[in-house]
Amino acid sequence: MTEKKNIAIIGAGLVGSLLSLYLAKRGYKIDLYERRPDMRVSTLDGGRSINLALSDRGWRALRGIGIEEDVRKVAIPMYGRMMHSENGQLTYQPYGKEGQAIYSVSRAGLNMALMNLSEPNPDINYHFNMQVQDVNLRTNEVYLHNHHSDTDEVIQPELIFGADGAFSMVRNALQKTERFNYQQSYLEYGYKELTIPAAEDGGWLLEKNALHIWPRGNYMMIALPNIDGSFTCTLFFPYEGERSFAAIKNDTDLLNFFLEVFPDAVALMPDLAQEYFCNPTGSLVTIKCFPWSYEDKVLLIGDACHAVVPFYGQGMNAGFEDITVLDKMLDSFDGNWEKLFKEFERKRKPDADAIADLAVMNFIEMRDAVADARFLLRKKVESKISEQYPDKWLPLYGMVTFSDLPYSYALETGRQQDKIMGKIMKHIDTLEDYNKSEVQQLLEEQLVQKEKLKAYQQQEV
Amino acid sequence: MTEKKNIAIIGAGLVGSLLSLYLAKRGYKIDLYERRPDMRVSTLDGGRSINLALSDRGWRALRGIGIEEDVRKVAIPMYGRMMHSENGQLTYQPYGKEGQAIYSVSRAGLNMALMNLSEPNPDINYHFNMQVQDVNLRTNEVYLHNHHSDTDEVIQPELIFGADGAFSMVRNALQKTERFNYQQSYLEYGYKELTIPAAEDGGWLLEKNALHIWPRGNYMMIALPNIDGSFTCTLFFPYEGERSFAAIKNDTDLLNFFLEVFPDAVALMPDLAQEYFCNPTGSLVTIKCFPWSYEDKVLLIGDACHAVVPFYGQGMNAGFEDITVLDKMLDSFDGNWEKLFKEFERKRKPDADAIADLAVMNFIEMRDAVADARFLLRKKVESKISEQYPDKWLPLYGMVTFSDLPYSYALETGRQQDKIMGKIMKHIDTLEDYNKSEVQQLLEEQLVQKEKLKAYQQQEV
């Protein structure tokens, strides 16, 4: 064990809070510095509940610290997608096999649970209202502004973890170093959060155990259930164009648009106009960078080094998996932090890149393809393949969501499977065609090739 | 004509200086602000001559302002690549058709020529030692530090052109705006400039009219001729690894390495060790961003919005072509700067992206493939195709270097041609095989398909 015991985590969000628990368990002394006030004392955003989809990678990280069961009590399983057509017709598509689900949880609720769990630990200390202004990478000095006392402070921890999100100030310091690779890409879409409130009896006005989607070509709305009976809807919408945030100027524009394209939803949204015009329009950014560390002093983690768009529901899960991966490396840690950081970023970077790309790709699938009958048939055929050959075929969504296979492996395998599906679907008009001998023979041939390719690739590594 | 007459150009490098001439010709009043001292008065970098390859796109921009002939007098044509093997054997490969060449020019010489040409114009004023600290995009205020008087100054031009290079401070201001897309990517290679001095009689110690390359797999050295008889060599070398900047620690390491891999060059480099250890190691960055403009106030141009690695010799040429494109748009300018800027960035962005990608791809070709006999045969076959079908086939290098076809068109067409070459080369062992009827037939079929694809793509636009 090294002598470096005094660790600062910048950012007490989901990743920072969970990381503090993992590090404290290994005997480190942790101070967390959070820009915002303590959310358990002063609720932000007028108490708006923003929910997230927690899936296998996230659960694993929570399990590792013993809080899986506590969180499960307030998580709502969503077993599939419920698609809403323009005339209100519903189509259901399961996410995985029987019993597999992603879970809607409240971001604030989960964050507070992690804080409540960690704060009693004498080795973990939270410092709220403390905004990082700059980091001196040579001296490890962190310059903070205390918003409560309106004073500046300087700390000098031995190690700094940057868990301060997509607009990380710790990364900002790294960006000023030599040869730092950095990319920020925005989609031409923004998002707006809206609410379907609970029924009068406290129940849910839509199917509770599904993620609802209103796919409409180049835009869409989704809704995730909350435990209070409400749904949080998110409209993903172009900034500019004929149908866009720019085109909706007043209540009439808004209502006409919603009545036309989301008629079944608008009937359940009594505060639509107020929420639409008062809630901020969020932007959708992908951030990639490299390296993630500076010498033996600083490591970025979570969104700070790999922010993704939300369309695979993997942002938090990927951040939590960072912690699982790092924790595993700490099992054989020899005291050399620089080596550890280099190993971590080398191992994790291809997976972070893969989930970033998958998330952008899934936007197209969600807003567009899921409304297409041919696409739904293809998904059903793929389920059949996966049932018939469970060891040889895992659908991409399942690899990402219900496994701990590396994201980069999932992306590559998904691409191979996509090519095979293209060949198979040429012979399929209805689900029954799947059993035709020519389809079965083609599939077998393709699977043999796929296994060969896999063996070859593993050999290359 | 708009009333906005008062234009500030930030950066008096090659692009900034040339732009001032084009804008002044249209009746604008130009102030250029340059961080460095006047290079005509105080020579920087101990007078080191750094040369550039000027090609068709660059010449066109110089011609447009009437200084082509002046520059041609001090430019050295390079008609092809001269490859040096490890045992000193030479192989020559022409760049284009008879008479086509790229031209070695001195960066400082060209820059000073542009300054000398523009400074007498009463509407063009140079301000040296003026470093931009920040730009207030709302108010158009530019905060400058005057290094000469060590004081701060504020200017408020009506329009700002950011021609301040890869590490642009104007772009830095844009980066703080909402939804700004930005990417900086470094190669794992650095570069070091070295010199082969002139012969005692003032002549050139290597073939004067060629670009020399010592390709060595994952690294290489190149040399361009200067008018004083010397050559400026550039070693492109990995930062880390067995053979790298990190591995060469002293004179002995250096000399052993050069004697082994560049024996014919080292014999001509009397100051090798001194230059190697005293000259800085440059980094190789690609910068992409979007948008390039802010409202009707700011436009980035040249490296400031699209810095590329030097392996296609197109950095300056692309920056000069920006000016040609912008100038053409000014022909039908209606006074709406914001519209002009939007049109310019929309038109130019795909070409800037294409040359950035081409430059990275060409690094692989230069350091590696040009030493391969099979690759050289392929190039010869391609020349034959181009001779036989001059209207249907332009080699990629020629499209980039000796034409004004958009870079994006060159990249796409190059990809198509590359696929065809792959098919053709399967039937070719020697250059004579090109005349075999099966090759000719295959080629004709492929060319028909290529034309069809082209017609289809043009239809799509």
In a domain, A99, yes or no: no
The strand order across the sheet containing A130-136 reads: A130-136, A141-146, A151-155
Give yes or no: residues A355 and A448 share one domain: no
Indicate if the pLDDT at residue B44 is higher than 90: no
DSSP SS3 for A443: helix
Residues of A in contact with B185 (CB under 8 A): 181, 183
Give yes or no: residues B28 and B165 share one domain: yes
Average pLDDT, chain A: 93
**Cα–Cα nearest to B270, from B213, B230, B214:** B230
- Give residue B461's pLDDT: 47
In B, minimum Cα distance to A176 occurs at B167
Give yes or no: residues B303 and B446 share one domain: no
Cβ count within 10 A of residue B446: 18
Identity at A107, one-letter amino acid code: R
Q: Which of B181, B185, B285 sits opposite A186 (nearest CB)?
A: B181
Structure ipTM over 0.85, yes or no: no
Residues of B in contact with A180 (CB under 8 A): 184, 186
In a domain, A411, yes or no: yes
What is the per-residue pLDDT across B193-220, written as a single tens digit (0 to 9) for each? 999 999 999 999 999 999 999 999 889 9
Residues of B in contact with A182 (CB under 8 A): 182-184
Do A394 and A382 form a contact (C-beta atoms < 8 A)?
no
Indicate which of B175, B176, B183 best probes the interface with A, i.e. most A CBs within 10 Å of its own CB: B183
Q: How confident is the model at residue A4 (pLDDT cuts 50, 70, 90)?
A: low
Give yes or no: residues B291 and B434 share one domain: no
Residues of B in contact with A285 (CB under 8 A): 179
Give φ, ψ of A423 to 5 degrees: -70, -45
- Give residue B46's pLDDT: 40
Q: Which of A182, A183, A186 sits opposite B179 (nearest CB)?
A: A186
- Give residue A1's pLDDT: 44
In A, minimum Cα distance to B179 occurs at A186
In a domain, B265, yes or no: no
What is the per-residue pLDDT across B75-125, written as a single tens digit (0 to 9) for each? 999 999 999 999 989 999 999 888 999 999 999 999 999 999 999 999 999
Q: How confident is the model at residue A459 (pLDDT cuts 50, 70, 90)?
A: low
Indicate if the pLDDT at residue B336 is higher than 70: yes
Give yes or no: residues A314 and A204 share one domain: no
Do B196 and B221 form a contact (C-beta atoms < 8 A)?
no
Query: How far B187 CA sits from the closest chain A CA (Å)?
Result: 8
> Quick one: average pLDDT of A307-312?
96
In a domain, A196, yes or no: yes
Taking each helix axis from N to C end, the angle separating B407-425 and B437-460, rounded to the nearest 10 degrees, works out to: 150
Query: How far A145 CA sits from the closest chain B CA (Å)?
Result: 20
In B, minimum Cα distance to A290 occurs at B185
Query: What secondary structure letter does DSSP report for A218?
Result: S
Q: Which two tokens stand for residue B27?
A: 């009746």
Contact across the interface for A283 and B178, Cβ inside 8 Å: yes
**Contact residues of A toward B, CB < 8 A:** 178-186, 239, 283, 285
- H helix runs in B332-395, sequence order: 337-367, 373-388
Residues of B in contact with A239 (CB under 8 A): 179
> Quick one: average pLDDT of B7-23?
97
DSSP SS3 for A355: helix
Contact across the interface for B283 and A179, Cβ inside 8 Å: yes
What is the sign, positive or negative, of the torsion defined by CA atoms of A376, A378, A384, A386?
Answer: negative
Residues of A in contact with B182 (CB under 8 A): 182-184
What is the per-residue pLDDT across A254-268, written as a single tens digit (0 to 9) for each? 999 999 999 999 999
Q: Which two tokens stand for residue A258?
A: 């919603």
In a domain, B315, yes or no: yes
Give yes or no: residues B339 and B377 share one domain: no
Indicate if the pLDDT at residue B459 is higher than 80: no
| Domain limit, last residue, from A342, A363, A384 | A363
Identity at A384, one-letter amino acid code: K
Q: Which residues pair with B102 in a beta bridge?
A: B78
Give yes or no: residues A155 and A222 share one domain: no
Residues of B in contact with A185 (CB under 8 A): 181, 183
What is the per-residue pLDDT across A112-128, written as a single tens digit (0 to 9) for each? 999 999 999 999 999 99
Contact across the interface for B183 and A183, Cβ inside 8 Å: yes
Indicate which of A167, A175, A181 best probes the interface with B, i.e. most B CBs within 10 Å of its own CB: A181
Give yes or no: residues B379 and B440 share one domain: yes
In a domain, B214, yes or no: no
What is the per-residue pLDDT across A336-355, written as a single tens digit (0 to 9) for each? 999 999 999 999 999 999 99
Contact across the interface for A179 and B186, Cβ inside 8 Å: yes
In a domain, A354, yes or no: yes
Give yes or no: residues B358 and B376 share one domain: no
HSE at residue A67, side-chain half, CA atoms within 13 A, is 20
Query: How far B178 CA sits from the closest chain A CA (Å)?
Result: 9
Q: What percent of chain B has pLDDT over 70?
A: 97
Q: Which two tokens stand for residue B370?
A: 């040009």
What is the sign, positive or negative, of the torsion defined by CA atoms of A290, A291, A292, A298?
Answer: negative
> Quick one: average pLDDT of B318-337?
96
Give yes or no: residues A275 and A396 share one domain: no
Q: What percent of chain A has pLDDT over 70?
A: 97
Rounded-to-integer distance, Cα A43 and Cα B254, Å: 64
| Domain limit, last residue, from B340, B363, B386 | B363
| Domain limit, last residue, from A363, A382, A404 | A363
Cβ count within 10 A of residue A323: 23
Do A78 and A211 form a contact (C-beta atoms < 8 A)?
yes
- Give residue A234's pLDDT: 96
Residues of B in contact with A171 (CB under 8 A): none
Contact across the interface for B179 and A185, Cβ inside 8 Å: no
DSSP string, B86-136: TT--EEEEESSSTT--EEEEEHHHHHHHHHHHHTTSTTEEEE-SEEEEEEE
> Quick one: average pLDDT of A402-427?
95
Q: How confident is the model at residue A452 (pLDDT cuts 50, 70, 90)?
A: confident
Count how many domains chain B has: 2
Residues of A in contact with B178 (CB under 8 A): 283
Q: Which two tokens stand for residue A286?
A: 């992908």
Give yes or no: residues B302 and B435 share one domain: no
Give yes or no: residues B305 and B356 share one domain: yes
- Give residue B460's pLDDT: 56
What is the per-residue pLDDT across A179-230, written as a single tens digit (0 to 9) for each? 999 999 999 999 999 999 999 999 999 999 999 999 998 899 999 999 999 9
In a domain, B164, yes or no: yes
Q: Which two tokens stand for residue B312?
A: 């296609």
Residues of B in contact with A283 (CB under 8 A): 178-179
Contact across the interface for A183 and B182, Cβ inside 8 Å: yes
Indicate which of B167, B174, B175, B184 best probes the interface with A, i.e. most A CBs within 10 Å of its own CB: B184
Domain that holds residue A388: 372-460
Q: How many A×B Cβ pairs under 8 Å?
A: 30
- Give residue A47's pLDDT: 38
> Quick one: average pLDDT of A424-433?
95
CATH number at residue B155: 3.50.50.60
Query: How far A368 CA sits from the closest chain B CA (Å)?
Result: 22
- Give residue A44's pLDDT: 58
Indicate which of B185, B239, B346 best probes the interface with A, i.e. most A CBs within 10 Å of its own CB: B185
